[in-house]
Structure 1
Amino acid sequence: MDFTAALEGDGWTQGPDVTSDGRTMATAKYENIVRSHRPEQHVRRSRPLGTSTSHNGGYPGANSPSAMGNGDARLPGNRHPGVPDLAASTEKRPTSDLPEKSPVENEKPPQSTTHEGLFQNAPGQDEESGGRTSEDSLAPSQSKQPQYTPDGKRIITEEECYDALGYSWPSWKKWMLLSSIFAVQMSMNFNTSVYPSAVEPLSEHFEVSEQAVRAGQCAFLVLYAFGCELWAPWSEEFGRWPILQCSLFLVNIWQILAALAPNFGSIIVARALGGLSSAGGSVTLGMVADLYQPEDQDWAVAFVVLSSVGGTSIGPIVGGPIKKFLPWHWNFWIQLIFGVTVQVVHFFMPESRATILMDREAKRRRKSGEDPNIYGPNEVKNPRISWEEVGVTWIRPFEMFLREPIVLSCSLLSGFSDALIFTFQEGFTPVFKQWGFGTLELAWAFIPIIIGYLIAYVSYFPWIIRDSRITKAKGPDYLPPEHRLKWLLYLAPLETIGLFGFAWTSLGPPQVHWIAPMIFSCLIAIANYGIYMSTISYMLAAYGPYSASATGGNGFARDLLAGIAALYSTPLYTNIAPNGLHLEYASTILACLAFVVTMPVYLIYWKGPWLREKSKFAQSLAADRKAKGGHRVAEATKEQLEPHNL
């Protein structure tokens, strides 16, 4: 029964019942709905003293013996005779579906909440959730009505403090934070790509094979993959700022261990710990979701993605001069200097995580006396996080990677593409040595890759501008999430074309000029940027506040496969092309793999709606955004994160 029917047909407007203070029951109920803000007021004023509430809605005293054991005769649905069950009636239909009649009919009573962590109405609890079905429970209403804990604490909502959240920050403040993120991401990816320049010096100093030294690169990248997954969800629980500061501090500590390593084993340990301590793009991209609604985020995503791919290309360019002019220790000292600099810059940046800002706003209002009973979403959790939640927090990114079709398909596409790039870059040394390139010239050979990334970055501008105009004119939901993949349909083939072109221009002099393979490497970079940018943008749109965990799967695949590639890349070129002959064969194999790997782009574009239908998590968050008028939700409910809903 809806609220309008309750007013018109259950004796509310016409019934003769009179309360103990002389008011009609309809008058008492109406005044209660309009004026009361605390649930206990609603309960006490709407009934004669000693009677119980009409429903078990989590109000203080709702479950007490005095409330339940008065011997009152009840109608089905746990109601007093003649009194409608407001909770059941209002929860069955979203507010937007109610007919627009009079102001009286459109008033709504406060929504109650229960507290086992504030998430009681999980799927399967239909009777306790006011008669809602499991499907209704999967998309909880984002009502603007206040919510309460069993002990009467009011929980602040996004709508009440929207001006304090990152979405409402001025542009200069957002881009100040994004610029610091750009530097952080550049530093972390620089650490992965500058190390190969130290392979020969480390091999000579510690008297180990060059292939053994490459294990340090593999250890860093593989552990980096797990580090992204492990750090990301903690940033959602405790905020982005402390997690990034902790990550940067630990990475810098391990750089000192590597620079002062007495033996090669210490190098491997330091690299492994450095990779595990790196929070990576999953956290930095999650910060984009803190600052922008889905329809406005593409400028920021493109900027942060540029920092990620750019860091992997700047490493070889800087590594060449380090290798030529400095001892091997400086490979790690340079990483440390870069890392400390960006940590200091980030130290002065603000927190952006919505739930943390909501906690702070609630504390400010209590301290100022504006509302002494208001609390943030994390403040009412008791305990803040349990060991069970610790396990769920760690498992969540892996669960999403394995069971969310969107995360799995996009992550594998991006991961295989990144592995191909790392493998292809290992071919630079044998290929360009045919033209007599030395250490510095080999470093400069990576400049076309940087140019390719910049071209790809700029190429997204017209699409972003066009999409922004469309969404502003026709609404944020007019363009489906798959539209974010459209430009990738044209860029993805450049990876296959570029690898084939690089392969068959690697013949050396006098047949080919050295500029030819550089041009094709530029095309490969354009495609790699497009794959990363479009898949990340797609997942950010689908998963909103939990995009850090979702994009963690993308980072996991990219870094894991790139780490494995570090071991086989050089042998691939040296064994297939002994004595520098037939180098084109190895790159041709990579080109064939690229053709296969990029095919899912088109499947995801055309079958994306079907994939999202298979994702309960994505569908639930989308329903929440729709209920909020297209705005991004700050936090998913507990039942959305349960394994059976992923």
Structure 2
Amino acid sequence: MSDLIESEKKGPLPEVHLVETRDTETRGNSQGETSSGPDNKNAYPELLAYSWPTWKKWVHLTVVFFVQISMNYNASVVGNALGLLEKRFEITEFQARLQMFAFLVAYAFGCELWAPWSEDFGRRWILTGSLLLVNIWAAMCGSATNFTTIMVGRVLGGLCSAGGSITLGIVADMFRPDEQGYAVNFVVLASVSGSVVGPVVGGYLEENVEWEWNFWSQVIFGVLVMAAFVALPETRAKEILNSKAKALRTDAAKEGRPCHIKGPRENVDIMSRRQILTGHPETWRHIFTIWLRPFKMFVTEPIVLFLSLLSGFSDALIFTFLNSYGVVFKEPYKLGPVQIGHGFLFLIVGYIIGYVAYIVDFWVKKRRSKRSGEPINPESRLFLLLFIAPFLPVGMFLFAWLSEPSIVSSPWPALSSTVLVGIANYAIYLATVDYMVAAYGAFAASATGGNGFARDLLAGISALYANPLYENVGRPENTRNGSVILACISIGVIIPIYAFYFKGEWIRGHSSMAEDFKKQEAVREEQLTGSRRPTPIGSRRNSSTGEVDIAFGTA
């Protein structure tokens, strides 16, 4: 154990902590927590995801990368099926767009509803259940015989989509705040890329196959990533400890020795199942408390509220911007679906440039932190964004002027300008979630759920006004007016970034949960740098029976 501590001196490491229990009862509160304190990872550190070798963490992240792409692919690829749906079901373009609106708005609530359950019952099975249900509803859409069935399937698919909140929670499980930068960077690249992979693949689907394959492609992709993810181990500390407790009880039973070891969530899990079936009011109150946690954080935590709105407005601008491609390039430049899909690759180039820029940024910050011996300041996570954020309005203004056939005869200069837009959008999303994951630790899934809520909700609303904005403002003379309007709005959107950078410490000081997490991290650091490891308390062996009367606690 001492070797493990020595290898992890660069940041706070979970401690072993055992709490006394009697027979099968855990001395804790109604939430299933032990008497040692609130949720953290201070038990059996060598078992927890924090202590996994680097290769294992990145294998896990690679699978999560494709899971994230799959979820955002489902949201974006359907844009290429609109015309086919209109012909097949004899509906208007507005009605066809309603299913995109319904999915994204439902997705916004789905992020919030699934995230807190992963904090209480583990990431693995919650996310697997989400993926399974999403695949079922996508299959229902693919086999639909009327448009109503598609609408119902899209709403249910959105509600069952866990979104990036759980994947970012997985990052918080495996990496300490001072080490999470590269991992968050990787997951964010998957999130933004998934929205662009959709129209790239969708162009080929629109041109070559029937509308059903738009949904069946979602099912195929979803089944593959679900199969890969379910094979991964759990990362949530409580669930890992529950499994350890069960294994110790099994070993004791084989030896004919009684053992009453309990994990931190076992009692409440069993109790909840029984009480849900009988309609126990306390259990249902706990369920609603869990469900409401992300919404409460979105409203009451200033960090979650303002950064989520910043990221959400940015995403809505991007979504509106992307919806303009068909109007701007199809008729004036005679581009087909596949060619328009290729135009989205410029955004991916921007995202990759942003990804590499932040790899360098994290490396520089880590070296400075190592030399100074001080942790990375939360506001420093926004420093690079101060210079990248203006790329958003600049790129949109360039797109507006270069997309006019009377000015430029080729569409490629305008498409090239979207590289700047991609860099800015990537940086805004990354910097905001990185800030929140560092601020809220174990509750990062609920915190970033607010980010996903704002992004998906505002993007869903934009699905209804995107085409009218470009078709009715300035047409038929030009299409640039819509882009100019978006560029002007984006100037106002990026202003809060500077407020957070210069006043972020004051804002964090007025955020109760962020302050609590900061104090917990300080306690862990103090324990780690002490003269000796704290002695586990409450462990007891019954002298007459030899059984161990302990429970895993989270201090």
Q: How high is the TM-score relative to the length of structure 1?
A: 0.73
SS at match of 1:375: coil
Instruction: Confirm or deny: 8 A CA contact 2:40 2:442 kept in the other structure.
Output: no
SS at match of 1:560: helix
Q: How high is the TM-score relative to the length of structure 2?
A: 0.85
Q: How many residues align?
A: 493
* Aligned equivalent of 1:623: 519
SS at match of 1:261: coil
Q: Cα–Cα, structure 1 residues 453 and 38, in superposed 2: closer, same or farther, change >3 Å?
A: closer
* Aligned equivalent of 2:157: 274
Matches within 5 A, 1:8-23: none
* Aligned equivalent of 1:377: 264
- Cα offset, 1:586, TM superposition: 0.7
Note if 1:543 corresponds to 2:430.
Answer: no
Question: What code does the residue aligned with 2:160 have?
Answer: S
* Aligned equivalent of 1:345: 228
Q: 2:180 aligns with which of 267, 284, 297?
A: 297
SS at match of 1:629: helix
* Aligned equivalent of 1:470: 368
Question: What code does the residue aligned with 1:378 have?
Answer: R
> Aligned partners of 1:352, 1:38: CA distance in 2, in Å?
22
- Cα offset, 1:372, TM superposition: 3.6
- Cα offset, 1:114, TM superposition: 5.4
* Aligned equivalent of 1:171: 54
- Cα offset, 1:513, TM superposition: 3.4
Q: 2:302 aligns with which of 394, 397, 405?
A: 405
Question: What code does the residue aligned with 1:210 have?
Answer: E
Q: Cα–Cα, structure 1 residues 384 and 173, in superposed 2: closer, same or farther, change >3 Å?
A: farther
- Cα offset, 1:383, TM superposition: 6.2
* Aligned equivalent of 1:448: 346
* Aligned equivalent of 1:591: 487
> Aligned partners of 1:160, 1:311: CA distance in 2, in Å?
37
Q: Which runs of 5+ in 1 are unaligned?
A: 1-36, 40-58, 61-111, 122-139, 143-155, 633-646
Question: What code does the residue aligned with 2:429 have?
Answer: Y
Q: Which moved more, 1:319-328 or 1:502-511?
A: 502-511
Q: Cα–Cα, structure 1 residues 115 and 396, in superposed 2: closer, same or farther, change >3 Å?
A: closer
Instruction: Confirm or deny: 8 A CA contact 1:414 1:554 kept in the other structure.
Output: yes
> Aligned partners of 1:116, 1:428: CA distance in 2, in Å?
54
Note if 1:435 corresponds to 2:333.
Answer: yes
Instruction: Confirm or deny: 8 A CA contact 2:366 2:376 kept in the other structure.
Output: no
Note if 1:162 corresponds to 2:45.
Answer: yes
Deviations 1:554-582 (A, max 9, x none): 00000000000000000100011323x22
> Aligned partners of 2:521, 2:368: CA distance in 1, in Å?
19
Question: What code does the residue aligned with 2:352 have?
Answer: L
> Aligned partners of 2:49, 2:368: CA distance in 1, in Å?
24
Matches within 5 A, 1:76-475: 115-117=29-31, 158-369=41-252, 372-381=259-268, 384-385=271-272, 386-433=283-330, 434-475=332-373
SS at match of 2:222: helix
Note if 1:495 corresponds to 2:392.
Answer: yes
SS at match of 2:44: helix
Deviations 1:38-82 (A, max 9, x none): 87xxxxxxxxxxxxxxxxxxx98xxxxxxxxxxxxxxxxxxxxxx
- Cα offset, 1:471, TM superposition: 3.1
Q: 1:519 aligns with which of 416, 425, 445?
A: 416
- Cα offset, 1:411, TM superposition: 0.2
Deviations 1:60-106 (A, max 9, x none): 8xxxxxxxxxxxxxxxxxxxxxxxxxxxxxxxxxxxxxxxxxxxxxx
> Aligned partners of 1:612, 1:327: CA distance in 2, in Å?
52
Instruction: Confirm or deny: 8 A CA contact 1:293 1:631 kept in the other structure.
Output: no
- Cα offset, 1:474, TM superposition: 3.8
Q: Which runs of 5+ in 2 are unaligned?
A: 1-17, 273-282, 529-555
Instruction: Confirm or deny: 8 A CA contact 1:378 1:384 kept in the other structure.
Output: no
> Aligned partners of 1:416, 1:158: CA distance in 2, in Å?
35
Q: Which has the higher contact order (CA 8 A, sep 6+)?
A: 2
Instruction: Confirm or deny: 8 A CA contact 1:505 1:512 kept in the other structure.
Output: no
Instruction: Confirm or deny: 8 A CA contact 2:80 2:202 kept in the other structure.
Output: yes
Q: Cα–Cα, structure 1 residues 631 and 341, in superposed 2: closer, same or farther, change >3 Å?
A: farther
Q: Cα–Cα, structure 1 residues 382 and 531, in superposed 2: closer, same or farther, change >3 Å?
A: closer
Deviations 1:447-502 (A, max 9, x none): 10111111110111111111222333444x53221111111111111001111111
Deviations 1:273-305 (A, max 9, x none): 111110110011100001000001111100000
- Cα offset, 1:173, TM superposition: 1.1
Instruction: Confirm or deny: 8 A CA contact 1:117 1:382 kept in the other structure.
Output: no
SS at match of 2:266: coil
Instruction: Confirm or deny: 8 A CA contact 1:295 1:471 kept in the other structure.
Output: no
> Aligned partners of 2:526, 2:62: CA distance in 1, in Å?
27
User: Higher helix proportion, which one?
Assistant: 2
> Aligned partners of 1:228, 1:160: CA distance in 2, in Å?
29
Note if 1:606 corresponds to 2:502.
Answer: yes
> Aligned partners of 1:335, 1:160: CA distance in 2, in Å?
40
> Aligned partners of 1:290, 1:371: CA distance in 2, in Å?
32
Deviations 1:560-612 (A, max 9, x none): 00000000000100011323x22111101000110000100010111111111
* Aligned equivalent of 1:576: 473
Q: Cα–Cα, structure 1 residues 316 and 268, in superposed 2: closer, same or farther, change >3 Å?
A: same
> Aligned partners of 2:468, 2:232: CA distance in 1, in Å?
44
Fraction of identical pairs, as percent: 45
Q: Cα–Cα, structure 1 residues 512 and 220, in superposed 2: closer, same or farther, change >3 Å?
A: same
SS at match of 2:489: helix
Q: 2:429 aligns with which of 525, 532, 538?
A: 532
> Aligned partners of 1:115, 1:339: CA distance in 2, in Å?
39
Question: What code does the residue aligned with 2:327 have?
Answer: P
> Aligned partners of 1:280, 1:299: CA distance in 2, in Å?
20
- Cα offset, 1:621, TM superposition: 1.2
Q: Cα–Cα, structure 1 residues 245 and 443, in superposed 2: closer, same or farther, change >3 Å?
A: same
Instruction: Confirm or deny: 8 A CA contact 2:178 2:376 kept in the other structure.
Output: no
Question: What code does the residue aligned with 2:333 have?
Answer: W
Q: Cα–Cα, structure 1 residues 209 and 602, in superposed 2: closer, same or farther, change >3 Å?
A: same
Instruction: Confirm or deny: 8 A CA contact 2:104 2:457 kept in the other structure.
Output: yes
Question: What code does the residue aligned with 1:416 have?
Answer: F
- Cα offset, 1:508, TM superposition: 1.3
SS at match of 1:463: helix
Q: Cα–Cα, structure 1 residues 240 and 269, in superposed 2: closer, same or farther, change >3 Å?
A: same
> Aligned partners of 2:527, 2:290: CA distance in 1, in Å?
25
Instruction: Confirm or deny: 8 A CA contact 2:32 2:266 kept in the other structure.
Output: no
> Aligned partners of 1:270, 1:319: CA distance in 2, in Å?
19
> Aligned partners of 1:382, 1:260: CA distance in 2, in Å?
37
Q: Which moved more, 1:464-473 or 1:189-198?
A: 464-473
> Aligned partners of 2:246, 2:131: CA distance in 1, in Å?
29
Instruction: Confirm or deny: 8 A CA contact 2:105 2:158 kept in the other structure.
Output: yes
Instruction: Confirm or deny: 8 A CA contact 1:161 1:361 kept in the other structure.
Output: no
- Cα offset, 1:425, TM superposition: 0.8
Q: Cα–Cα, structure 1 residues 449 and 372, in superposed 2: closer, same or farther, change >3 Å?
A: same
Q: Cα–Cα, structure 1 residues 384 and 489, in superposed 2: closer, same or farther, change >3 Å?
A: farther
Instruction: Confirm or deny: 8 A CA contact 1:625 1:631 kept in the other structure.
Output: no
> Aligned partners of 1:437, 1:446: CA distance in 2, in Å?
13
Q: CA RMSD in A?
A: 2.3
